[in-house]
Amino acid sequence: MYRNLLRPLLFLFDEEFGHKLIITLLRLFYFLPGARLLMRGLIGRRSAQLPVEVMGLRFPNPIGLAAGLDKDATSVRAFIDMGFGCVEAGTVTPEPQTGNPSKRLYRLKDQRAIINRMGFPSVGVKRFVRNLQRRTIGGIVGINIGKNRTTPLKQAKKDYLTAMRAVYPYADYIAVNVSSPNTPHLRDLQKGAALETLLVALKDEQIMQTKTRRHYVPLAVKIAPDIDDDAIAAIATLVTKHKIDAVIATNSTVQRPGIEDQLLAAEGGGLSGQPLKTLSTEVIRKLYHHLKGQVPIIGVGGVENAADAWEKMVAGADLIQVYTAFIYEGPAVARRIIRGLERQVRAAGFTSLQEAVNKARTGVHLMR
């Protein structure tokens, strides 16, 4: 129904309006009595159970919604009810901000891709937290934090700490976004000394919060695909050294692989969807080579179906996230991927996804 009816309708609208419409309709739908049951019954129905344990959390399945769609955490519950194993809300910034001027979102339909330069439009952390508090969610919620555009890079640490303190009681894990291409110089925070300073501060805060709240919330760092092998090795060393709980690989890319001849390729911003797939999988593979399973990897970039998800898991990802495929495939995308993975696990003669992936990884990584 989505592909034949809703998507053509949605694609009549301006791209950003379309994304906002999804979030608004979901929010309004949840005011109706029985909405939750209906969503679970219609879309989340028969979601296979492929539980995975990552960062000390038990995810009902490995397919999560990536950051950026539910930026203000208004519709988290709806996405959980659709069958996503986890929803990453945000990026949220400490203070409200409008983001970059419009137009800032482009669809490349034939390439099943999106280019965006949103620049963290956010209601700010206070309202974000109120939005989350209002709802009983009953699923795993990651909260992705960033810095305000006007905050100088030298003071970025303060912004991340402010956001972290505010969201800590409401997050199952916190994702530290140092990889958006749309906030000037943000990605400099992925580099050596800057990253180490930030990670040390966030880790100290995590220890402090754990003591006062008697509750440990894992920290994940989200990285860009536009980094070389030395940078990947350096990130792996730092996250291991500072006991970061996971790496999310990757954000959108500033490269234009395979779409150089497209008119829209000249638009500035991050490219996501199918053209990003191989690039992000390669980052995951290299990262896994260094991390050797000591720090889990959340794989994201161009995943549309079970084969894509499986490829990233064999490369080293423990969990998967999708964004662009949600726009092209609709709300049943998580369920379809999960059912495909379930078939793959059964065909390989396993009952647990993690066992099947470990077996497949051994073969692949031994061959290399």
Q: Which is nearer to ligand FMN, 108 or 356 (CB)?
A: 108
| Structural contact between residues 74 and 27, judged by C-beta atoms closer than 8 angstroms | yes
CA distance 299 to 292: 15
| Cis bond before residue 240 (omega within 30° of 0) | no
Half-sphere exposure of 52 (CA within 13 A, CB side): 28
Question: At its nearest, how many Å lie between ligand FMN and the CB of residue 174?
Answer: 12
Question: At its nearest, how many Å lie between ligand FMN and the CB of residue 254?
Answer: 12
Other Cβ atoms less than 10 A from the Cβ of 210: the count is: 13
CA distance 176 to 198: 10
| Structural contact between residues 92 and 131, judged by C-beta atoms closer than 8 angstroms | no
Site map (CB under 6 A) of ligand FMN, residues 99-138, x = contact: ------x--------x-x-x-x------------------
335 forms part of the interface with ligand FMN (CB under 6 A): no
- Which of the residues 180, 252, 272, 280 is marked catalytic? 180
* Sequence-distant contacts of 348-355: CB under 8 A, at least 24 apart: 353/50, 353/51, 353/52, 353/62, 353/313, 354/52, 354/53, 354/318
276 forms part of the interface with ligand FMN (CB under 6 A): yes
Token pair of 242 as six digits: 């500072």
Query: Exposed, middle or buried by CB within 10 Å (0-12, 13-18, 19+), for 30?
Result: middle
325 forms part of the interface with ligand FMN (CB under 6 A): yes
145 forms part of the interface with ligand FMN (CB under 6 A): no
Strands 105-108 and 113-116: antiparallel
Question: At its nearest, how many Å lie between ligand FMN and the CB of residue 45?
Answer: 23
**Span near ligand FMN by CB under 6 A; candidates 65-73, 213-221, 228-236, 307-315:** 65-73
| Structural contact between residues 283 and 294, judged by C-beta atoms closer than 8 angstroms | no
Question: Where in 180-209 is the site for ligand FMN (CB under 6 A)?
Answer: 180
Question: At its nearest, how many Å lie between ligand FMN and the CB of residue 170?
Answer: 17
Query: Which amino acid is it at 197?
Result: T
273 forms part of the interface with ligand FMN (CB under 6 A): yes
320 forms part of the interface with ligand FMN (CB under 6 A): no
**Span near ligand FMN by CB under 6 A; candidates 38-46, 201-209, 319-327, 359-367:** 319-327
Q: Which of 63, 80, 221, 303 binds ligand FMN (CB under 6 A)?
A: 303
252 forms part of the interface with ligand FMN (CB under 6 A): yes
180 counts as catalytic: yes
The residue among 280, 229, 279, 271 whose CA lies nearest residue 253 is: 271
Question: At its nearest, how many Å lie between ligand FMN and the CB of residue 352?
Answer: 25
Q: Which of 22, 39, 66, 125 binds ligand FMN (CB under 6 A)?
A: 66
Instruction: Find the residue with minimal CB distance to ligand FMN.
Output: 68
**Span near ligand FMN by CB under 6 A; candidates 153-161, 200-208, 212-220, 296-304:** 296-304
| Structural contact between residues 219 and 245, judged by C-beta atoms closer than 8 angstroms | yes
Residues in a beta bridge with 297:
247
The residue among 65, 64, 137, 131 whose CA lies nearest residue 96 is: 131
175 alpha carbon, distance to own chain's centre: 9
**Residue count at the site for ligand FMN (CB under 6 A)?**
27
75 forms part of the interface with ligand FMN (CB under 6 A): no
Active site members: 180
Q: Which residues contribute to the site for ligand FMN (CB under 6 A)?
A: 66-68, 71, 91, 105, 114, 116, 118, 120, 144, 177, 180, 222, 251-252, 272-273, 276, 300-303, 322-325
